[in-house]
Amino acid sequence: MRKIWIILLVLVVVGVAGLLLLRGKWNTSSQPANAVNQPTAAEADAPTETPQERASIEAFGVVKATNVININIDFSARVRELYVKEGQKVTLGEPLLALDVDEYRNQIRDVEYELLVAKFDLKKAEKDLKKTETELTQLAAEITKKETALLTNTDYELNQLQADLAKAQQDLETKRELAKINGVSQQEVAALEKTVADLNRSLQSQRQKKVDEIEKLKAELALKQINKDLPGAELTALNMQKEKITLLENKLAMLRKKLDQNFIRNNQIISNVKNGIVVELGYTEGDLLTPEKKVLSIIDLDSLIVEANIAEEFIKDLQIGAGVVITPVADYDRTYRGKVIRRSAVAIKENGETVIPVEISIDDRNDFLLPNFNVDVKIYIDETDSKAPAVPGEDSPHRGDSTGLMAEEK
């Protein structure tokens, strides 16, 4: 009987142990399924995500200036003294370098003297022309006068001869009458007849002389008129001189204009922008300036924008005026506001990808943001004004090589 009780006790112990073992295995297999459905402590403490994140396009960009002034000198000059260095900030009217322009000013004085001589020669040519025209007028008047006198028998010399001839003819008639009554000898009549004949010949000769003189004057007048009216004759004299003066005046104005520019004052090159940076300084003191090589460039800091390239698959979502947040790579703690102000009308290839260049304004730029800085830009496709948030609250999505799109999450 005692053995029976011992056997029953052993069976009870074994049974209880088996039950405990089975219960432990069941608890171990069911614990992971509960962890999936129950949040962890870290997850419970983490901030909950907003129901909707704003859609945006992200891209890399570079700060560029839309206004870069290239200073070129296309006249003879040397660098006398440099006042600035590469990358130096300058203000409006600030001297950048001094020029030695003595040789160029001598060129201007030479042209000024040549112009004065040409104007003097023009006055002389005009005087000669006026003299020629006066001579032509006087010659024509003289011809008219002589022709009138010849036609109207008012020429003094011819009148004298005609008067002498008329008197001789009258005397001859008287002597012939006297000869009939032997009042005078035949020799006196013959001598008087000879005088009348001589006077007739003299009158005819003088008349022909007058005609020949008029014809000679007419030939002289015609020759001078032909020379005056020849094609190109004016250009070869007076007009050519006027053309020379015009060319010299234009040349002088051009020479003076090269010194009269908004970046040159008192033989110095000055800054013609209010807020700029000197770059690409191409000369040192003593160098001769040449038209082929610019002196320097000035970047207008007030014209800075961001240039970025947007992948073609996202360009449909981009609108002009869309708000932008700009973050410089040099300091991720800084952000700037802006908006899309221009989208290129043509796509380009960049690293094997088709992209569209866009320009973004910087509405609150400060002195930290410099030309050629690399920046990250986030363009909000649901916003079409310049009021982009300064610091976006949503987490940044994964960024690709050039652009990424943050889709709305419900």
**pLDDT band per the 50, 70, 90 thresholds, residue 376:** very high
Cα distance between residue 211 and residue 213, in whole Å: 5
Phi-psi region of 47 (alpha: psi -120 to 50; beta: other; left: phi over 0): beta
Cα distance between residue 279 and residue 334, in whole Å: 26
Q: Choose among 322, 325, 363, 328: nearest CA to 343.
A: 322
Neighbours of 185 (CB within 10 A): 12
Do the beta carbons of residue 347 and residue 355 sit within 8 Å? yes
Q: What percent of the chain has pLDDT over 70?
A: 78
Cα distance between residue 20 and residue 108, in whole Å: 116
Tell me the per-residue pLDDT of 187-222, one tens digit each, with 9 for 90 and over.
888 888 888 898 888 888 888 888 888 888 888 778
Do the beta carbons of residue 75 and residue 321 sit within 8 Å? no
Cα distance between residue 56 and residue 319, in whole Å: 11
Q: Does domain 106-241 have CATH number 1.10.3710?
A: no
CATH architecture, range 56-67+300-406: Beta Barrel (2.40)
Cα distance between residue 326 and residue 368, in whole Å: 13
The helix (H) or strand (E) run that includes residue 102 is helix 102-151
Cα distance between residue 323 and residue 377, in whole Å: 10
Do the beta carbons of residue 300 and residue 276 sit within 8 Å? yes
Cα distance between residue 202 and residue 165, in whole Å: 9
Average pLDDT, rounded, for the chain = 81
Res. 36: pLDDT tops 50: no
Residue type, 377: V
Do the beta carbons of residue 338 and residue 308 sit within 8 Å? no
| Domain ranges for the chain | 2-45, 56-67+300-406, 106-241
Query: Model pTM?
Result: 0.58
Cα distance between residue 129 and residue 228, in whole Å: 9
Tell me the per-residue pLDDT of 333-349, one tens digit each, with 9 for 90 and over.
999 999 999 999 999 99
User: What Å distances lie between residue 272 and 69, 93, 226, 369, CA to CA?
Assistant: 9, 6, 60, 22
Predicted pLDDT of residue 228 = 64
Tell me the per-residue pLDDT of 280-326, one tens digit each, with 9 for 90 and over.
999 999 999 999 999 999 999 999 999 999 999 999 989 999 999 99
Cα distance between residue 325 and residue 392, in whole Å: 8
Neighbours of 309 (CB within 10 A): 22
Cα distance between residue 91 and residue 83, in whole Å: 13
Phi-psi region of 353 (alpha: psi -120 to 50; beta: other; left: phi over 0): beta
